[in-house]
Amino acid sequence: MKVSDIRELSLEDLKGKLEEEQANFRKLKMSHKVSHLEDPLAIRKSRKTVARLLTVLNQKLTQQ
């Protein structure tokens, strides 16, 4: 997910998307520990998406 797409989301959408991505990240990490993933880079992509969401969320909260 690109930053420009994330910035267009409302606060409620950001919070919902963040929870969804964090759950996905945890699931990927657990799956990788149990058995190796076909695409281990998916963990990195998910972690970066969570970081982007948190950054934009914090920016929006500080602007208010």
**Consecutive 10-residue runs of the chain (64 residues): their mean pLDDT?**
92 96 97 93 97 96 90
Distance from C-alpha of 21 to C-alpha of 24, rounded to nearest angstrom: 5
Tell me how many degrees the CA angle 52-27-17 measures, rounded to the nearest 5: 35
pTM of the prediction?
0.91
59 vs 64: CA distance, rounded Å: 9
Angle at the Cα of 23 from the Cα atoms of 18 and 27, rounded to 5 degrees: 145
Amino acid identity, position 3:
V
Return the pLDDT at 52. Answer: 97
* pLDDT the model gives residue 64: 80
| pLDDT number for residue 1 | 80
